[in-house]
Each structure stands twice: as structure tokens, then as C-alpha cells.
Structure 1
Amino acid sequence: MEHSTTPQIDFPQDPHSFAQPQEARVHHVDWDLAVDFEQKKIYGTGVYHIAHQGAPEIVLDSHHLLIQQVWLEDEQQEARFTLSEEKPFLGQGLHIQLTPDTRKVKIRFETTASSAALQWLAPEQTGDKTQPFLFTQSQAILARTWLLCQDSPSVRFTYTARVQVPAHLLPLMSADSPQEKDPSGVYFFQMNQPIPSYLLSLAVGDLVFASLGERCGVYAEPSMISAAANEFAETEQMLLAAEKLYGPYQWGRYDLLVLPPSFPFGGMENPKLTFATPTIIAGDRSLTSLVAHELAHSWSGNLVTNATWNDFWLNEGFTVYFERRIMEALYGTEYAEMLHTLGYQDLQHTLDELRQKPLDTCLHLNLENRDPDEGLTEIAYEKGNLFLRHLESLVGRERFDAFVNEYFSTFQFTSMDTARFEQFLEKRLLNGDESLRQKVNAHGWIHSPGIPTGITPPKAALFEKVDQERQKWENGTPAKELATANWSTHEWLYFLSNLPKSLQLTQMQELDTAFGFTASGNAEIQAEWFKHAIHHQYQEAYPALEAFLVRVGRRKFLLPLYKALLQTEAGAALAREIYQKARPNYHAVSTSTLDAMLT
């Protein structure tokens, strides 16, 4: 635990936080929390250890929290506090007056029905349908809706938490977590590595644990644990491959938690405990690149963190690149190139969608006065990855890997903004080489819209065979005669995403009969197929489409499918009808976007 009273001096101005960490900052918190499923709230206290040099106040971020009492030190003196005027997305700044000697502030608080990070699930909304469930989603700026904090990725702190839950449920946090239930219902968590607030997490449910190796394991509801353990059996191999590439894993254990289907993301890289959607459990380990992605965040994001959400590409561009290096190490170059090619397709779709907002296609964004979730697009992920691939192609893999290793080791447990990254790139990779600087064109990649000219798109050899089979079908070969026997999920996704824009209903029926897309157990394949079903009004798929939208809360699937339905009058009516049923199953991260579209 840090006891220094000297605050960091290089905090960037974060447009999404009221905190002024350059004046006074939190460096450790001790929480004492109770989880109340009947009232659907978390309540308790936090003792905030702060560093400052005579600052008159400390400012925390708060949004829809009920603040009951504030003390200085160990309840020795009740403190005066004020809340600033509420701002959209951001909530309020909690201003607590300090004395020159104040080193601790204690706050009693509770969450409210509007605490957007929290999703309280009734038993019927879970996999086993017997016990309630709670999970949090703090990224980007929702940590402040369930725990008072300086909610900027530039502020890192350690923490402990004493958490009380109903005795028959198990709580887990982004910390060292228990592997079995305690009859007392009281648990103690400790995170010794400093983390930013968006990586705070809590899940409470009827959960069991299965080991995946020496350092890895998975938690899930009892009915899901066997399938989850089988799906993620190669996690330890991924961890070893990652360490071989970019240095030691610095977080102790790496465990996964399979959440109920309403979880709004594919995964969330909470340290020591990745939250994962059940939609990646396909039965054949074909979607586990998501695990490699969240694991890679243990370096890019969790170890070296974007300083503000304008710098989000530094988290995700590096992570996509690293994820695919892990997959290449395990499954070969051809496999990794399929992922790059599909990612490039997604990037092209995003560039098209953002053509009216060209500045949103720069890597470095300006999200001031905007919800930072608007920056969570494929630009950060796939354009960022493409830029790093471009660097690798110019200097060679060996030199580029040395640069990335130095980047992670130099800046570990700190935050990085785009300007400092550019300085590091100049100093450690370009190193005064004017010819290389021109070829790299870092400014063009980072600060200009779109993709610089002259970039060769990735091209997967395995997809050329898919193109041949698709062409045969378009030329009249029956679907059932196509050579698809050994295709992976990625080949099927490429096949589906490159079907002709115009299909006859008889062709849709033929494909469905031959390959069973509507009834597929693979969520990625189903979601891609449903886009075609909506576009071509293939009614036979609509009951499965409705069941999918009611069951699954992952934004990646929801937004394109609802957008597709809204293109026609009949589709819009169906979309609103389905949304009315489905909305209670979605997290606020999803409904905040969908409400604007559908209500």
C-alpha cells in the first residue's frame, strides 16, 4: 500500500471526470459493502486514503449515488461536502473539504435504482433460473454509479473490500477471489496492484469454480460450468504464449467468469477476473479469440492504461494486435490472418457508418461533452491494430516486438496518452530515421480520418477457398454439395458476410436447409444470418430472431439487428414489439443506446 503524500504531477485533463487528481488523489480504498437483493442496492462505507500537499478539497465522481455521511480520518470529524450541478453522462462532483493534515476520508453511501453499472437479475433471467444474480459493468464511466471514486483512467489505486452477500451466493471481484462459498456470507477481497476505476467489478450469484491449470480457472453457474471449462481449456496455453511474447503476467491468477446472457459485451478485462458472455461458448472453442483478447488486456489496458477515453485506441489497438499474435502462436499464421481479415471487414463497415462523422475515424478522439461510449467503435480496435501491423511491416517483427516489450515494461502501472506515445515511438522506434518517419506517417494514422493510402488489406488464404465455394453456389451448385466440412466459425462468418446483397427467398431457404443457420448454436453465425433474414424478410427465421434478441444482451449483436429491423415499417413495428419484451433482460449499457432508437 502506498503511503506517499506526494501526488503525481502529470495527470492529463480528463473531460469525463470532475476529479482534480493533480491537487488531491485517492491511492487506496478500503470498502465495507453489503449486497441487498431484496432492495436491489449496495450500501456501506469506503475509507479513501488520499495524497495531497495542503489541498483545500478532494473531488470524487458520483452519479445517482446517495451520500449519507462523510468524515475526516477515523470518524473523528464530520466533513463538509457539496455536490456540483449534475451534468449529462458525468453525474456530479463530490467536493469534500480537507484540512492540511487529512490523509483519510470515510464516506457512507448507497446505490439507487438509477445506478447504471448494476444489473440485478431475477432467477428466471439467469442460466439456472433458481437464484438471483448481480453484476457490474464499470467501463467507461459507470464505476461512479456504484462506488464513489475518481473515475478517470489516469487515476490508479489499490483496494480492499469486505463484502456481505446472502449465504447461498458467491461474490467475485477484480481482486483475489474465493473459489467456494463461505456459510457466513462474508468475504474479503484484496487488490494489491493499482488499477483505474473502470476495472472495478463485482458479481454475485450461484457460482461454482473449475480449475483450468496452475494459474487459470473459470466460474459459472452450475449448469454451465462443464461446458465453460471445456471451452476455455486452452487458457493456460494462451497465458504462456502471451508471456513468451511480451513479458511476465503481473496479476497472479487469471480467471474467467461466464455471466448470464444479458452481459452487454463479449468480455470485460477486469484484472484477475475476465467477465465473459456465454455467447462465446460454441462447443468447439472456435470463439476463444475473445479470451485471448481479454487476456492481452492484462498488458495493454490494465498494465499500461489509456489516460483518457480520447486515447482509447491505445488500449484496444494494442490488444487486438496482441490477441492475434497469441492466436497465431497457438493455431498458426493462416488462422490469425482470418481474424485480421474479418476485422478489416468490420473496420470498413464502421468507416462507412461514420462517413458523416469523419473526425470519429481518427485514432485520437475528441469526446468532450459526449458519452465516451461513442468512442467504443472498431476504429480504436481495428484501425489501431492496422496501424501497429503497419509499423511491424516497416521495421520487422523482431524490432517491433522489442519496441512493444519496452513500451509495456517502461510504462507498467501507469497511464499513457497519445502525445506521450508519439514521443516514445519517435524516440524508441523511429530514432531520427527521416525515411522511416515518412513511411510510418504516425500523424496521418493517429490524427487524420480514415485509413492512409497505400495500405494493403489483410488477405487470408483460407478465405480464398471460401470465395471459391461461394462462387460455385452463386453459379448454380447446390448448397449441400459445397466443400464446407472442415470450416471454422471464421470461414462461415466470411461466407455469410460476403453473400450477394440480393437473394431470393428460395436461396435463403436452400442455405438454411443445407447449413442450419437459423437454429445454429453459434451466436456469431446466428447473428450474421439474422441480418440477411431481416434484409430479405425471410420470415421463417423470425421466431428464432425474436428468441435471440430476448435472450442475448450483447451490444455487438443487438445494435446491428435492431438497426436492420428499423429499415422497414413492418420491421420497425416488430423491433419495438420485441424490444418491449427484451428490454428487462438488457444492461443499461445496451438500453442507453437502444432506448433512443426504439422508444
Structure 2
Amino acid sequence: MSVLRKLFTSVIGVTLWLATGVAKAEDVHSYARLNEVSTPHLELALDVDFANRKLQGHATYTLQRHDDSTQVYLDTSHLTIKRTELWLNEQWQPTKFTLGDVHPSLGSELIVDIGSVAKKLRIHYETVPSASGLQWLTPEQTAGKKHPFMFSQSQPIHARSWIPIQDTPALRLTYNATVTTPKGLLAVMSADNSLSDNRDGEYQFSMPQAIPPYLIAIAAGDLAIKSISDNVAVFAEQYILDDAAWEFADTPRMIEVTEAMYGPYRWDRYDLLILPPSFPFGGMENPRLSFITPTVVSGDRSLINLIAHELAHSWSGNLVTNASWRDLWINEGFTSYVENRIMEALFGKERAQMEFALGYQDLLDNLERLEPNDTVLNIQLGTRHPDDVFSQVPYVKGQLFLAYLENKFGRDVFDKFLRKYFDDFAFQSISTDQFKIYLQRELLSQKPDVVSMSKINEWLHEPGLPADAPKPTSDAFAKVEQQTQRWLKGAQLQTEQWTTHEWLHFINNLPLDISAENMARLDREFGLTDIQNSEIAHAWLKLSIVKKYEPARDRLRNYLLTIGRNKLVSPLYRELAKTPDNLKWAREVYEQAKPGYHPLTQTVNEALLYSEH
């Protein structure tokens, strides 16, 4: 065996020698020792127990041995492990296991004795009601009010809270599953979902493409189905099904333009699951079935760049994956770049540039707020929970880095590089170091005087932005700023042709000394307090907190009580926490909202509201 294929273990986690060089990826967020024994295939059998808010069943793994180890190491988080078994002599036989102490970020190490010949391991287990990767909603917390709802969120390291698994993105595995639910409910997974409306309570799934564990996903509820095209459908509660299918009608075209730029879509179907408002993210790129927040169903297709983003993950993230959470930018930076290219191809450069400029403004806000070390693309995490460092840095700074390379080498050259990159690393997990080796060989060396490796290292390993980083601007925003200046002097705003993006730029860039009279004037003329577009409402409500605009307070309360998307609620709680009176009020609202928030939303916002505890 060559040295480039050798695998060796770090203190906690796994270090991989990568095939294209001596690059290493250390995943300190997993107990897995992939160099000893890995688990390339999973068979799940789960019962969805709504009454007790738990999943129970077993996980069966195919064992792939890389040395003579007689134990396998897996990740768990507050799972109840009932028993473990090995398939030996054509039957399941019990084997010993050890469950380690609970680490605050990593959960508990599960060590199972596997002997020297067994090829399959079965783990019988159940989850706890507070599992960080699951949310259980009562019927009253759903739109239909008749049936409960459950969904998962495994990224980054929450799969271990509902499956005992080698929970590192360095592992890629296929899976099959059998899921049972109460009759009348529909179960779906990040797999080959049937479009049948049969609700007999037993569902079979298969994911034949190898994926990292954080992309294993499950949901169950009173779901209906509506097809958009031959390979795109929407799953949703009935109340929003038709609206969502209309809102996302451009999804098939998005697939076509992305394939033209970056190669074939390799996941067969691309369906969308519209989750309840408590879903903590805008979207989650679970393969074959992206999970989507209902807050982007705006009625005017103005927020569908989120669909472009989740679809783009089918190339950047799901196909080529970060090997550890230090390398998150390899997922999100590439995806933000591809998202913007999709939007430009479908809707023109002006819209794409507006969205890029808005993202850049969000990044600048993050750079001002974050510690310098947390503004590095290839971030040093230690054993901090990866959730703690999600920000605009891996997304927009990563996007800026790729836009910088596009500007330097030209779009045609860079597109060819990206397409080859997606082909060469398809269904692999890679590190930042491995990317650098590939970038040097396939792009930098072709034109050695264009971009130096020292510049690449500045982008990847230094805080903040390089001095020559792109600074996205929009001509449309320049016109909005001209109107803003005239409006502040008493003129009327001409907003008939404004998009959501122009409204966001207008509100986000109003002077902080705007008068109470002008706040009331804006609200009176445009009904911003009652606007149903969740993004515009967020910007207005945040400004209303700063300006102490009391007429918006009831809407603010309702907004925080009915939306659980972190991007939309945590900045409001952060702003409220700045003054004692608002903090007291925010805590009262939060305690009322908390039962409807996902565990991840609870964690983020309790850190803002109860930081002294």
C-alpha cells in the first residue's frame, strides 16, 4: 500500500492522507477511526413514536476493515443503546459495547467489539425527546392542527443524536431505510421518495449514491404532493402546497442551466419539502429532497435564490464535500458562487448583482462583529461545536474568493476549472489543503503570473478580507440611494418597480438618526409593519427596535412567535438584548415562543438572551 493511501488516527477523530497529495484533513468533531474500520453502508429500521417523541429501532452497518482492529468507534449524542449484535454463522449474535462520557460538543463515544471476521454490525437504540437533530411538533403547532409533525436537521454533527454513526463528513455511505409511522401520515427521507399518496404507515427508502452522514434526513407529517416537472415535486402541508409549487416553478430551469455550466445532475430527482415555520434554516440541501423554510414563499418569486442555493449544493457540498467542519467554505463558498451564477443565467446580471451586494453587506456586518480568528475561511475550530461558528464568512467570503479567481483568470477559464473540479472530486470529501494542491496544478500553474499561492493563503488562512477583494455593488442600489436622499428631504419614493432586494437595501441603509416622523411616514405609505414578505418585515422590525418605533411592537412579538428561522429571529433578539427594557421584553416573548423553536434556534438565542448564565 502506498504512503498516499495510508490512513492514520488523530487523538479524537480521523486524519486522512488524500489521494492527490500529502494533504491532511483532521476531523476533531468525530470519534470515528475510519483508518481502522469504516461503515460504507447503513440499513435503518425506525419507528416514529409521536406519543413519546422518539425514534426507536436499529441501525445495521456493513463493516469495511482497513487493519486488524477488533473494535469500531462511532458517535452518539444522548442515545439509549439497548444492545449490539454481529452477523456471525448466519445469525445475529450479541457483542459488547462501551458508551463513553458525554462531551458537551461531541456527545459520547460508542465502542463496539466486532472481533476479526464479522462483516455486519447491528445497533438497537432509541432517541430522547430532546435530541438536538430532531424537532417534534404537536398538531396545534402545525397549519392543519390535526396531525403531529417531525423533522430532522443533521448538519453539522446532529446525525449522532438520532443515529449511532461515524458522524464525520470524511465518511461517505449509502443507505436503505424502513420507516413506520401512524397511519395517515407520510414519511420522507433524503432518498428515493415515492410520489404515491399511500399512507399505510410503512415506507421504504434507498439512497444509492454515497453521501456524508449529515445529509441523512427524515420527516413525517400530514404531507401532500404536487409535481412541477418529471423530476421535481413539492411535498408540503396542504395549506401551502399550491403556493409553493407556483413559487418554485423555475426549479427545473435552474437544473438545466446548472448542468450546462457544471455538468450533469447526478441525483435523479430534485424534490422540495416545505417544512413548518419552526425550521431553523432557510434550507437544507438534503440530497433528492431539499428541506425548505416556508418564509421564502413570498408570492412574487423574489426569494427563490434560496432554491438556487440548495440546488447548487447538488454539485458543491453533496457531490464534493468538506472533509471536516474546518473546511465548511468548500461547501458554502462554492455553493454561494454557483447560486449567483444560476440566478444570473436565469434572471440577468442586475438581479444577481443585487443579491451578491446584499450578501456582501451582511458579510461586512459579520466581519465587524466576529472575533478575527472566526473570519478565517479555513477556520481553527478546536472542539468548539461547529454550530457556534456558522456565519456569512464561509458563504460570502468564500464566494468572494471564487469571484476573485474568476476575475483574475476570466470566466471561461474558471468555468472549465470548476466543471473539471466537480468531475474529478465527485462523491469525495476533501480538505482545504487538498483543494490548494488541485488549484495549483489545474489553474495557478497554467498562468503562473496571475495569482500567487501566497495570495491564495491570504484568502484561506488570514482573517478579514484581502485589500484587493471584490466589492460587489449594484447600479439598482445606487438609484435606490439617490431616491433615499430625496425622500429624506420630503420627496415621494417611486417604488412601483422595486424588488425585495431594493427594499432590503433601502431599509438596511436608512440613517440611524431617521426621525420618528419619517418612520411613521414610511409605515403609513407602504404598510411595512404589516408586510407579509418575511425578509422585508425582518429588516423593518430590526430598524423599529433601534428606533423604538412602538407601532411595530405587536408585529414584532407575532413575528418572533411564529417564525423559527435563525437568520430572521436571532438578529432581532440580538438587537433587543442591547437595552435592559428590551431584554426583559425579549425574554418574555422568547419563553412563550420557545416550545415552537427548534433546539438549534433555542441554543443560538438563549446565548444572546441569557449570556450571563
TM-score by length of 1: 0.96
Q: CA deviation at 1:503?
A: 1.7
1:494 aligns with: 505
Instruction: Describe the superposition over 1:425-458 as per-residue Cα deviations: whole angstroms up to 9, x where unpaired.
Output: 1000001644223398100000001100123411
Which residue is 2:210 aligned to? 194
How far 1:375 sits from its partner (Å)? 2.5
2:41 matched residue in structure 1: 28
Matches within 5 A, 1:181-220: 181-220=197-236
Residues 559-586 of structure 1, C-alpha deviation per residue, up to 9 Å, x if partnerless? Answer: 1100111111111111011001100110
Counterpart contact for 2:298–2:532, Cα < 8 Å: yes
Aligned counterparts of 2:60 and 2:204: Cα–Cα separation in 1: 15
Q: What's the counterpart of residue 59 of structure 2?
A: 46
User: Following TM superposition, by how much is the alpha carbon of 1:459 offset from its aligned partner in structure 2, in angstroms?
Assistant: 1.3
Q: After superposition, give the CA deviation of every residue in 1:136-159 in whole Å (9 maximum; x if it has no partner).
A: 100010000001110000101000
Aligned to 1:395: 409
Higher mean C-alpha deviation, range 556-565 or range 367-376 = 367-376
Q: Secondary structure at the match of 2:528?
A: coil
Residues in 2 aligned to 1:591 and 1:377: alpha-carbon distance in whole angstroms? 17
CA distance in 2, matches of 1:308, 1:570: 42
> Equivalents in 2 of 1:266, 1:456: separation in Å?
26
Work out which of the residue numbers 413, 416, 435 in structure 1 matches 2:427: 413
CA distance in 1, matches of 2:45, 2:470: 54
CA distance in 2, matches of 1:595, 1:565: 13
1:278-427 matches, cutoff 5 A: 278-354=294-370, 357-427=371-441
Aligned equivalents of 1:114, 1:567: Cα separation in 2: 30
Report the 3-state secondary structure (helix = DSSP H, G, I; strand = E; otherwise coil) of the residue aligned with 1:148.
Answer: coil
Which residue does the alignment assign to 1:114? 130
Q: What is the one-letter code of the residue matched to 1:499?
A: L
State the secondary structure of the residue aligned to 2:147.
Answer: coil
SS state of the match for residue 436, structure 1? coil
Q: CA deviation at 1:374?
A: 2.1
Q: Is the 8 A contact 2:37 2:72 kept in 1?
A: yes
Amino acid at match of 1:123: P
Partners of 2:338 and 2:159 in 1: CA distance = 27
In structure 2, what is the equivalent of residue 138 of structure 1? 154
Residue 233 of structure 1 pairs with residue 233 of structure 2: no
**What is the alpha-carbon distance in structure 2 between the residues aligned to residue 18 and residue 243 of structure 1?**
37
User: What code does the residue aligned with 1:275 have?
Assistant: F
Within the candidate set 69, 90, 94, 2:110 is matched to: 94
The reply to whether residue 511 of structure 1 matches residue 522 of structure 2 is yes
Offset at 1:130?
Answer: 1.8
User: What SS does the corresponding residue of 1:212 show, helix, strand or coil?
Assistant: strand
Match in the other structure for 2:174: 158
Q: Does 1:58 align with 2:72?
A: yes
Name the CA distance, whole Å, in 1 between partners of 2:206 and 2:453.
Answer: 47
Alignment match, 1:3: none
- Do 2:184 and 2:200's aligned partners in 1 also have CA atoms closer than 8 Å? no
Aligned counterparts of 1:183 and 1:211: Cα–Cα separation in 2: 18
For 1:371 and 1:140, how far apart are their aligned partners in 2?
9
Matched, 1:528 2:539: yes
CA deviation string 1:327-381 (max 9, x = no partner)? 0000011111001110110110000001xx2111110011112010122110000
Instruction: Spell out, residue by residue over 1:183-202, the C-alpha distance to the aligned partner (whole angstroms, 9 max, x if none).
Output: 43101000000011100110
Match of 1:584 among 588, 595, 601: 595
Cα deviation 1:20-44 (Å, max 9, x = unaligned): 0111000001111110111111100
Q: 4+ runs of 1 displaced by more than 4 Å? A: 6-11
Q: 1:54, 1:99 within 8 Å by CA — same for their partners in 2?
A: no
| Cα deviation 1:274-312 (Å, max 9, x = unaligned) | 000000000000000000000000000000000000000
Residue in 2 that maps onto 1:543: 554
CA distance in 1, matches of 2:368, 2:109: 38
Q: Give the gaps of 5 or more residues in structure 1.
A: 1-5
Q: Following TM superposition, by how much is the alpha carbon of 1:489 offset from its aligned partner in structure 2, in angstroms?
A: 0.4
Structure 1: distance between partners of 2:17 and 2:436? 20
Residue 176 of structure 1 corresponds to 192
1:66/1:515 CA distance change after superposition, 3 Å: same
Which whole-Å CA distance do the structure 1 matches of 2:416 and 2:234 have between them?
32
Find 2:456's aligned residue among 442, 464, 479. Answer: 442
For 2:373 and 2:607, how far apart are their aligned partners in 1? 23
Contact 1:316 1:381 in 2 (8 A): yes
Letter in 2 for 1:531: K
- Report the more deviating stretch, 459-468 or 540-549: 459-468
| Matching residue's letter, 1:596 | A
Q: Find the aligned partners of 1:73 and 1:557 in 2 and give their Cα distance.
A: 49
Q: Which amino acid aligns with 2:444?
A: L
Deviations 1:445-493 (A, max 9, x none): 000011001234111111111111111112221xxx2111011100100
Q: Is the Cα contact below 8 Å between 1:167 and 1:182 reproduced in 2?
A: no
- The answer as to whether partners of 2:180 and 2:202 remain within 8 angstroms in 1 is yes
Q: Does 1:482 align with 2:493?
A: yes
Does structure 1 conserve the Cα–Cα contact (< 8 Å) formed by 2:99 and 2:109? yes
8 Å CA contact retained: 2:401, 2:469: no
Give 3-state SS (helix, strand or coil) of 1:193's partner: strand
Contact 2:80 2:127 survives alignment (8 Å): yes
Once the two structures are TM-superposed, the CA of residue 541 in structure 1 deviates from its matched residue by: 0.3
How far 1:129 moved relative to its partner? Answer: 1.9
Superposition deviation, residue 114 in structure 1: 2.7
Q: How does 1:14-25 map to 2 (within 5 A)?
A: 14-25=27-38
> Is contact 1:391–1:440 with CA below 8 Å preserved after alignment?
no
Taking only the aligned residue pairs, the percentage that are identical comes to 44
Q: 1:128 Cα deviation (Å)?
A: 1.9
| Structure 1 Cα separation of the partners of residues 345 and 494 of structure 2 | 27
Task: Please tell me the residue identity of whatever aligns with 1:91.
Answer: G
Q: Does the aligned pair in 2 maintain the 1:89–1:371 contact within 8 Å?
A: yes
* Preserved CA contact (<8 Å) 2:197 2:225: no
Question: 1: CA distance between counterparts of 2:96 and 2:386?
Answer: 31
For residue 46 of structure 1, report the CA deviation from its aligned partner: 1.2
Question: Which AA in structure 1 matches 2:530?
Answer: A
In 2: Cα distance, 1:214 partner to 1:224 partner? 21
How does the TM-score come out when normalised to structure 2? Answer: 0.94
Q: Which moved more, 1:455-464 or 1:236-245?
A: 455-464
Secondary structure of the structure 2 residue equivalent to 1:47: strand
Does the 8 Å CA contact 2:444/2:452 hold for their aligned counterparts?
A: no
